């Protein structure tokens, strides 16, 4: 067992000593079996929430209505969730009610895919009720039980499945693929924020091209904002096989470029991303379009940022185009300021020094000073700036 599980074993043992069942469950078990790094250790138990709280001295009710109690033990935090079944789903996303049960088999039946439906006992035995081990060995992603039911319950599982295919390099089982395609229209019922998270993970995965091909094949793009032009989307797949995006900004920026956007703010607003992320993507998109026409300048670096320019060069390198990382580094080294507030004099100080009244003149003058410093035509010093203003106001 990995260290994370070994550290959590006392939790399982304490629950078992109290007379209940307890297992490690979910994606962490899958990742252990695939020899991948694990992140979260989830524990499922036959103990009801109130019973779990009686076993441990320090707990927090983080989702007790769904059976989850956060256990604080030995310096760690562990989510312990009661075995449960789920009632009729509403909004194709959430169960209207959950029922606590004592049987592990009923709990595992509600999972999304067979490779996520494992339970790991404290002695290291893997409980596999849905042939997930076979699917792991054959690198197949298969829905638990009847796939139509799984996607009708929670349509976000469609995007999760595409993401798993991209992250794990798995093939979709034929019946799971068919069910995804027939239920893709239900994605319109899911919050765009949740879809963004899954699509973002897909695009930045090692095998994103596989996941993206599957996304197009099941026509999921038809139900995503601004993605209805499958032919333009397919341009994304013309990147060399095996290319991996450096980060989300590069991935979404090139995606918008493939869709023909010169300014992606309108579309990104539909995806309800943060203003900061939208700004970074827009800067990358602008930088990419500039670079296709000419080499980068000091002003490009100043206005768009070193990160945007570097991401563009990386993408050009992947496409076999000529790059100039050295030029970007040289521009960066020579840049005196990264933002306007680094100018050693403020507009107010200049107004006082030259008795300039508030109005358009000072705004235009300060902008000229800013550009002159960026272009290295003016030293960012008080003396140089004062002399510059004297000269231009003669």
Tens digit of pLDDT at every position of the chain (394 positions): 788 899 999 999 999 999 999 999 989 999 999 999 888 899 999 999 999 999 999 999 988 888 999 999 988 899 999 998 875 555 555 655 678 899 999 999 889 999 999 999 999 999 999 999 999 999 999 999 999 999 998 999 999 999 999 999 999 999 999 999 999 999 999 999 999 999 999 999 999 999 999 999 999 999 999 998 889 999 999 999 999 999 999 999 999 999 998 888 889 999 999 999 999 999 999 999 999 889 999 999 999 999 999 999 999 999 999 999 999 999 999 999 999 999 999 999 999 999 999 999 999 999 999 999 999 999 999 999 999 999 988 7
Decide: helix, strand or coil at residue 26: coil
Q: Phi/psi zone of residue 366: left (φ > 0), alpha (ψ -120 to 50 degrees), beta?
A: alpha
C-alpha dihedral (275, 279, 282, 283), degrees to nearest 10: -170
Q: Quickly name the fold that domain 240-335 has.
A: Methane Monooxygenase Hydroxylase; Chain G, domain 1 (1.20.58)
CB 5 within 8 A of CB 72: no
Predicted confidence at residue 140, as pLDDT, reads 98
* Topology of the domain comprising 341-392: Serum Albumin; Chain A, Domain 1 (1.10.246)
3-state secondary structure 47-80: CCHHHHHHHCCCEEEEEHHHCEEEEEECCEEEEE
* DSSP at 143: B
- Per the CB < 8 A criterion, the answer to whether 308 and 284 are in contact is yes
**204 in helix, strand or coil?**
coil
**Binding region for Mg(2+):** 40, 42
| Closest to 330 (Cα-Cα) out of 354, 298, 365 | 298
Coil vs helix vs strand at 144 = coil
Residues 6+ apart with CB under 8 A from 161: 112, 113, 141, 143, 172, 176, 180
Q: What is the predicted pLDDT for the residue at 100?
A: 87
Q: Is 1-130 in CATH node 3.30.460.10?
A: yes
**From CA 196, how far away is CA 187, in angstroms rounded?**
11
Residue ranges covered by each domain of the chain: 1-130, 139-224, 240-335, 341-392
Annotated binding residues for ATP, as ranges? Answer: 27, 30, 111, 154, 157, 160, 163
Buried b (16+ CB within 10 A) or exposed e, 248-282: bbbbbbbbbbbbebeebeebbeebebeeebbebbb
Rg (CA), the chain: 28
Class of 139-224 per CATH? Answer: mainly alpha
Q: What is the pLDDT of residue 230?
A: 87
3-class DSSP state of 3: helix
Feature table: binding site for CTP: 27, 30, 111, 154, 157, 160, 163
Q: Which residues are annotated as a binding site?
A: 27, 30, 40, 42, 111, 154, 157, 160, 163
Using alpha carbons, select from 102, 65, 59 the residue that is nearest to residue 84.
102
């Amino acid at each position: 067992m990995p260290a994370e599980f070994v550290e959590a074993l006392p939790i399982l043992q304490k629950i078992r000593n109290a007379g209940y069942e307890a297992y490690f469950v979910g994606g962490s078990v899958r990742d252990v079996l695939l020899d991948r790094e694990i992140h979260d250790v989830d524990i499922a138990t036959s103990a009801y929430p109130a019973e779990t709280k009686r076993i441990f001295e320090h707990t927090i009710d983080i989702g007790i209505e769904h059976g989850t109690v956060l256990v604080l033990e030995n310096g760690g935090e562990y989510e312990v969730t009661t075995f449960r079944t789920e009632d009729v789903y509403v909004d194709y996303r959430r169960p209207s009610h959950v029922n606590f049960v004592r049987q592990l088999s009923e709990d595992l039946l509600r999972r999304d895919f067979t490779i996520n439906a494992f339970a790991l006992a404290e002695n290291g035995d893997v409980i596999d009720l849905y042939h997930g081990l076979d699917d792991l060995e054959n690198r197949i992603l298969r829905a638990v039980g009847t796939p139509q039911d799984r996607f009708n319950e929670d349509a976000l599982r469609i995007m999760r499945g595409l993401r798993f295919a991209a992250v794990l390099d798995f093939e979709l089982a034929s019946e799971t693929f068919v069910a995804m395609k027939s239920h893709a229209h239900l994605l319109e019922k899911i919050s765009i924020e949740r879809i963004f998270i899954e699509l973002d993970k897909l695009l930045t995965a090692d095998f994103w091209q596989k996941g993206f091909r599957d996304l197009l094949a099941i026509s999921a793009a038809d139900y995503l904002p601004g993605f209805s032009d499958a032919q333009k989307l397919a341009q994304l797949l013309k990147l060399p096989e095996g290319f991996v995006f450096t980060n989300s900004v590069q991935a979404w920026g090139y995606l918008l470029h493939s869709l023909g956007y010169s300014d992606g703010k309108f579309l990104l607003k539909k995806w309800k991303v943060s203003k900061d992320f939208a700004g970074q993507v827009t800067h990358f998109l602008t930088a990419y379009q500039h670079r296709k026409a000419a080499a980068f300048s000091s002003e490009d670096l100043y206005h768009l940022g070193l990160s945007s320019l570097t991401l563009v060069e990386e993408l050009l390198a992947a496409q076999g185009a000529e790059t100039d990382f050295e030029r970007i580094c040289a521009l960066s080294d020579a840049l005196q300021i990264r933002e306007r507030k680094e100018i050693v004099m403020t507009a107010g100080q200049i107004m006082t020094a030259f008795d300039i009244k508030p109005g358009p003149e000072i705004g235009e003058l300060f902008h000229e000073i800013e550009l002159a410093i960026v272009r290295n035509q003016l030293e960012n010093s008080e003396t140089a700036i004062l002399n510059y203003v004297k000269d231009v106001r003669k």
